[in-house]
Amino acid sequence: MDKEVQKPAVEVGNATRFIDAYNKIDHSLRAQYNLKRGQSFADIIRRCSSLNSIVRKFEDLLVDYARLRNAIIHSSYEDYIIAEPRTDVVERMESIAELICTPPLAITTACRKDLLSVKSDTNIANVIASISSSGYSNLPVYENEALIGVANGQRLIDLIGEQINNKVDISKYIEETKIGDVIQRYEEDKYYIVTDAKLTIEEALNQFYTNRKLLAILITKTGNYNEPALGIITVSDIMDLNAMLDNFSGTKTK
């Protein structure tokens, strides 16, 4: 019996790869945000830039790529390719498509997992010492294994400043005041949120973008306050998150 001859793999051209990535972005954004079919790709990008952090980051580039797509495809025939884009452009488009269509989870790529927390009966002096020695400015505060708030370094400085202005004995105050009592002052001022482990990088960036008071995002398994924190993302991590998006190469181009 003759051996079956294996056919050589058909190489997909750059234009086809570019158009595939373009279409994935187009379909994904229309589905995510229930956009009208008549809107152009460029209009969709402009519209979604206020809704999606990844689109917002690559907005101008994606609008440029919309023009490139029109240069690749003949205006009268959708299947008639008249130009081939450069490989680096194609790979960039594919990476952006993957970020938009399947954004990576924050818990596996972006958040800090070496969490340092304090108990609610810890005095302010020891909390400040922990912040100073660890370099972490946001420490989750727990009472009976339930999260009750986040001790933030800047807010503690502001609080101590208030006591100084009120002529309070600072040494006595920070030794006798429990962090749990201080946290109650900020009950209505949600400068942190708790979310589940399905949080994506895009959603994390969007939370900071839409809530300028937000200082920290705590991640638990299901977003429950009674669960231990799995990771934390703070406002100081935004630059690192954006750098991660810039350097993202995706699964196809690694």
37 DSSP assignment: T
The pLDDT score that the predictor gives to residue 82 is 77
| CATH assignment of 108-245, among 3.10.580.10, 1.20.58.1610, 3.30.420.40, 3.90.470.20 | 3.10.580.10
Mean pLDDT within 48-52:
96
pLDDT tens sequence across 193-245: 999 999 999 999 999 999 999 999 999 999 999 999 999 999 999 998 988 89
The pLDDT score that the predictor gives to residue 76 is 47
The pLDDT score that the predictor gives to residue 4 is 58
Phi-psi label, residue 135: left if phi above 0, alpha if psi -120 to 50, beta otherwise: left
Mean pLDDT within 45-56:
96
Where exactly are the structural domains of the chain? 14-102, 108-245
Could you tell me the pTM of the whole model?
0.83
3-class SS of residue 73? strand
Please state, in angstroms and rounded to a whole number, the distance separating the CA atoms of residues 194 and 178: 23
Residue 7's pLDDT band, with cuts at 50, 70 and 90, is very low
Determine how β-strand 146-152 pairs with β-strand 118-119.
unpaired
Contact 99, 204 (CB under 8 A): no
pLDDT tens sequence across 111-130: 888 889 999 999 999 999 99
In this model, does residue 254 exceed pLDDT 90?
no
CA dihedral 163, 165, 169, 170 (to 10 degrees): 50
Please state, in angstroms and rounded to a whole number, the distance separating the CA atoms of residues 96 and 129: 43
Q: What is the percent of the chain with per-residue pLDDT over 70, rounded to a whole number? A: 88
In this model, does residue 3 exceed pLDDT 80?
no
**178 - beta bridge partners?**
123
Q: Which residue has the higher pLDDT, 129 or 252?
A: 129
pLDDT tens sequence across 141-195: 999 989 999 999 999 999 999 999 999 999 999 999 999 999 876 666 779 999 9
